[in-house]
């Protein structure tokens, strides 16, 4: 019984770890998307000012 509970806890830990890493990956992707959007905005502003 004890061994069974131990393995169950390990599985739970693994699931929690994979969920955490998935969340981290999603956050990183969101940050990258946001920074790309900011870069695009900055570039368009620069060309806009240069055109004037």
Dump pLDDT digits (tens) for 6-49.
Answer: 677 788 899 999 999 999 999 999 998 888 877 777 766 666 66
Identify the pLDDT of residue 40: 75
Q: List the chain domain ranges.
A: 1-52
Identify the pLDDT of residue 3: 54
What whole-number distance in Å separates Cα of residue 43 and Cα of residue 31? 18
Global pTM? Answer: 0.50
């Amino acid at each position: 019984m004890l061994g069974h509970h131990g393995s169950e806890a390990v599985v739970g830990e693994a699931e929690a770890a994979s969920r955490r890493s998935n969340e981290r990956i999603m956050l990183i992707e969101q940050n990258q998307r946001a920074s790309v959007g900011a870069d695009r905005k900055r570039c368009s502003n620069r060309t806009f000012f240069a055109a004037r």
